Structure 1
Amino acid sequence: MPTTPRPQLPTCLKRITLRCLLFHRCLDFLPSNQCIREHGVHETTLDQTMIFSRYLPLAIFASVGVLSASPTRLRLTALISDKNQDAAFECWEIDTPFADYPTVGTAVTGLADVSNISYVVLPPRSAEGLHKPPHPMFFVLVSGAAHITLPGGDDELWIGNGEDGVIIAMDTQGVGHYTDYPSDQPSVALQIPFKEGVPPKHRVANQGPCILAKLILENEVLDEQRQAELR
């Protein structure tokens, strides 16, 4: 039997939605007036923009008929050096799937071979300036907040401790990226280099940060369920 095509969002909606999510993400860490300056939102439209940024994802999900599903593979935002050696974001889907953890929950075991670990304390409201990682590595934000921007392009990434606090830093070529730590408290991070510089096996789910991938669900689990129902 024919398969149900996967819903796709128009490019214009992808761009609008990503901008709204980035603005809303900024509000998680900074006062509204600073986020207004960061994202060029006029103060008189702040309330409407906040509402739009909060509820547009729900409206889009409803309009394309996408249902949520439990992820089977981990997705992490990666900072890479592109073919021109410029820093760029990619969303990586790790090859190793989630499996049941011995007690409760799920885990990705054998995620990567690593060589060591560094514990880094970054001062409040500090900035690293333009830099690149010394080695390909995991960057894990344990506390505080980080804002990553690129010298070329408009892509940016806000990360905090928690589910979205792990990224992969691979932009060891070229000039690198900017990182600011805007929190009023020190930010703590772990730097975990990959053994011999080899990252986890993966596929590129999309160009840009994984925040966009979360919104525009490829929904592979749901597709598999539908396929099973059609058999």
Structure 2
Amino acid sequence: MSIISFSSSHEMRLGFSLLLLLFSLCGAMTTALNITALSSRNGYSVLECWQLASVPVDAMAAANYALGNTTVATWSTIKPRTTVGEAWAPHVQLSMILNGLIRITSPSPESANSSDSITSINSSENSLRPATTVAYIMPGTTKSSLLIAADLRSTSHITGHYTEFPSDEPTVLIQVPFMDNLAPEHIVLHDGPCL
């Protein structure tokens, strides 16, 4: 008993091509792009692992992911051993680290916040404070060298994140803002950075 039957060699080649396409699509769908993200929750900056909804398209021997509409990219060089302190994303943006190291603590430790950035945290807001998480962003793998920063000051109005560049070398970044501050479509896999 035959499960698949073909009446001609042309139909057989077409059927085989469709099977190959199906298998390649199944493989592509399982190759998700996971990126560490700085987001906002209950007024606090938090680190999360996002899985982007973008499905890779194979072209020219590469898996290509559409990330969304972007604006002008910026090349940034930060001096060695720089501490920025409490910060927020200036725009919803993708950051790619090419050299150096970024240490991000989120939400920013309470002792790092100045009195003017915390005007009045009452006990109900404090009970919503997420656990502190640390991420190291460095050149290497996709999971270690990419960050989506989406914790705008307007949404992380209680506390931002804390940023340090502890490397003995300059940290070099490419920062690519998303148009209209719209993050790529995604699901949150878990709290904390992607591992």
Q: What TM-score, normalized by structure 2, do the two folds share? A: 0.67
Q: Per residue, is there more helix in 1 or in 2?
A: 1
**1:166 is the counterpart of 2:123:** no
**58, 62, 65: which one pairs with 1:105?**
62
Name the residue aligned to 2:33. Answer: 74
Name the residue aligned to 2:98. Answer: 142
- SS where residue 130 of structure 1 aligns? strand
Q: Per residue, is there more strand in 1 or in 2?
A: 2
Name the residue aligned to 1:157. Answer: 135
* Count of residue pairs brought into register by the alignment: 140
One-letter amino acid of the structure 1 residue matched with residue 170 of structure 2: P
Give me the CA root mean square deviation: 1.7
Name the residue aligned to 2:74. Answer: 118
Deviation, 1:99, is 2.6
**1:178 is the counterpart of 2:162:** yes
Name the CA distance, whole Å, in 1 between partners of 2:82 and 2:32.
34
Deviation, 1:205, is 1.4
Name the CA distance, whole Å, in 2 between partners of 1:134 and 1:111.
19
Whether contact under 8 Å (2:135, 2:192) holds in the other structure is: no
- SS where residue 53 of structure 2 aligns? strand
Give deviations 1:2-27, integer Å, cap 9, x for gaps.
xxxxxxxxxxxxxxxxxxxxxxxxxx
**1:132 is the counterpart of 2:88:** yes
One-letter amino acid of the structure 1 residue matched with residue 69 of structure 2: D
Name the residue aligned to 1:203. Answer: 187
Over alpha carbons, which structure has the higher Rg? Answer: 2
Runs of 4+ in structure 1 over 3 Å off:
none
Gaps of 5+ in 1: 1-68, 212-231
Name the CA distance, whole Å, in 2 between partners of 1:97 and 1:148.
28
Name the CA distance, whole Å, in 1 between partners of 2:165 and 2:192.
21
One-letter amino acid of the structure 2 residue matched with residue 115 of structure 1: T
Deviation, 1:209, is 1.3
